[in-house]
Structure 1
Amino acid sequence: MTDPIPPRRVFHPAREEAATAAQAAESPQTVNPAYTLAFQDMDFLLREDLRPVRFQLELLKPELLLEQANIATTFVFYGSARIPEPSKADALIEAAATDHQRLVAERLKAKSKYYDEARELARRVSRIKPDPEGRRQFVVCSGGGPSIMEAANRGACDEGQESIGLNIVLPHEQMPNEYVTPDLSFRFHYFALRKMHFLLRARAVAVFPGGFGTFDEAFELLTLVQTGKVRRMPIMFFGRDYWGRVVNFQALVDEGVIAAADLDLFTFCETADEAWDCVCNYYSGTEEDLGC
């Protein structure tokens, strides 16, 4: 006689319970919203005092799916949603109706080279092999939108590799770019949870020219590293001229609001080659040696 094997569970799965609940006969009690199963009651889940639960769900869903996809670490790309692909840059200039619009379009065209650099860097990153346990390393992760984000996901796609897109619900709808892997395309309501998922698996971050969103993401990362809340990692700012124009980093040191050593938390670079060398040098000789 073989030893008995106990069942894995004694409660019915929630999916079965939900199906059973849907078969309930109609009565004044069963049609009342109070009778609806809590996890099927959208009015209940969207109550103001259920925000902590929604926070937990928004943290948990991507985490479970990324773990299920065997993704151990990511290479994160931050950058503008407005910098055009080089082949489309002239169209912006032609569409300009005023001198100011033309000037802006010309400046965006000058930065369009970073689309190609982001795409090339993503290609390099996507060639990293899984570790001996089969865990996927340095999976490309972007905000999932257009421009620099698209270039990152596109570079991974060029190599036949999957990539992550972390979209956000905005008043002006932003669709995921076509190169994001559908199974790894996530949508967030809370900026805070989206930014947390950018960094939970990040082991390197490339920051391209961008606006408020890029500043928000990049400077939060610098603050977390500066304060020791996040371990140091390669952080590359693309475009020394751009960043030197919009942020006077040395003035922050001169004013005494950051230390001179804080400027060592990141590196300026111009090309995918420079950024990749920075990453390889950082991890050379460590447990995370990439074998570049």
Structure 2
Amino acid sequence: MIENNKISIEERKIRDAFQARDWNEIKSNDSWAVFKIMSEFVGGFEKLAKIGPCVSIFGSARTKPDNPYYKIAEEIAAKLVRHGYGVITGGGPGIMEAGNKGAFEQGGKSVGINIVLPFEQSSNIYIDPDKLISFDYFFVRKVMFIKYSQGFVVMPGGMGTLDELFEAITLIQTEKIGRFPIVLVGKSYWQGLLNWIEEVVLGQERNISPDDMRLINLVDTPAEAVKVIDDFYSRYLLQPNF
């Protein structure tokens, strides 16, 4: 019954996209959407501007607390806040929960940037309610991740994690944001993807440049992950100062 309901909802969305509408109906719907989008941007800017230098931790919502990657993400967040950084996560379960938990248990600052979904995503208990922000629009949420992060730690994850990873890489590659450090955690998880990018995307098709590969750091341990970020900012004589 649930599956049939899911199919009917999906079918309704597909059919709805093909329905004819007059200009006034389109204009009215889009105008109200603009106001909603603006309100999400303003709310996000107001809360995130106060937290200071931050590192975003991306990863799967499906990772369980007994998974080694959950423990690694928790330790990375704990080390980051001890080094003076705030932590930004997607605010949900799994790796996101681990990031907020690690920061919370060290008394550090962390924010949850939650997305409203019909499944999977509910906020975790380690976020101060004042620092939980919920969005309806993925693109607004991604702007918040990028605009207020001075580094990106990417744990194993699915489609959403890959989307966030390549969004960050693309904006750095195109010089829309600074060359902030990107750290992939889990060599056994990420190495196959990096091999394909290097061999096919770079080597065979030449769709990227060799310098693009140098945007990514691949590590296995929390100490290595945080060291990448510390070393990057030490070159600029910068460090967080909460």
Which TM-score band (shorter chain)?
0.7 to 0.9
Q: Distance in 2 between matches of 1:155 and 1:282?
A: 22
Preserved contact between residue 148 and residue 208 of structure 1 (Cα < 8 Å): yes
TM-score, reference length from structure 2: 0.82
Q: How does 1:36-51 map to 2 (within 5 A)?
A: 47-51=29-33
* CA distance in structure 2 between the partners assigned to 1:77 and 1:66 by the alignment: 15
Q: How many residues align?
A: 211
C-alpha change, 1:173 and 1:260, in structure 2 (3 Å) is: closer
Deviation at 1:173, TM superposition (A): 5.6
Root mean square deviation of aligned Cα:
1.7
Report the residue type matching 2:175 in the other structure.
G
Residue 197 of structure 2 aligns with which residue?
249
1:189 corresponds in structure 2 to 136
1:69-148 equivalence runs, <5 A: 70-86=50-66, 112-129=67-84, 138-148=85-95
**What SS does structure 2 have at the residue aligned with 1:202?**
coil
State the SS of the aligned residue for 1:165.
Answer: strand
Query: Which of the pair has the greater relative contact order for Cα pairs under 8 Å at 6+ separation?
Result: 2
Give secondary structure in 1 for the equivalent of 2:32: helix
**Which among 284, 287, 292 is matched to residue 234 of structure 2?**
284
Contact 1:144–1:165 under 8 Å retained in 2: yes
Preserved contact between residue 61 and residue 120 of structure 2 (Cα < 8 Å): no
Deviation for aligned residue 1:246: 4.3
1:200 is the counterpart of 2:147? yes
In 1, Cα distance between equivalents of 2:29 and 2:237: 46
Unaligned regions of 5+ residues in structure 1, if any?
A: 1-45, 87-111, 130-137
CA spacing shift, 1:201–1:287, aligned 2, 3 Å: farther
SS in 1 for 2:150: strand
Which has the larger Rg?
1
Task: Name the SS of the counterpart of 2:151 in structure 1.
Answer: strand
Q: 1 CA distance for matches of 2:96 and 2:215?
A: 23
Separation (CA, whole Å) in 2 of partners of 1:210 and 1:115: 11
1:288 offset after TM fit, Å? 1.7
- Aligned counterparts of 1:288 and 1:181: Cα–Cα separation in 2: 28
1:245 CA drift (Å):
2.8
Would you say 1:236 and 2:168 are equivalent positions? no
Aligned with residue 217 of structure 2, among 248, 261, 267: 267
Q: Deviations over 1:151-175 (max 9, x none)?
A: 0000001102231001111122621
For 1:203-234, what per-residue CA distance to the aligned partner results, in whole angstroms no more than 9, with x for missing partners? 01100111110011110110000111110011
Q: 1:60 aligns with which of 42, 50, 69?
A: 42
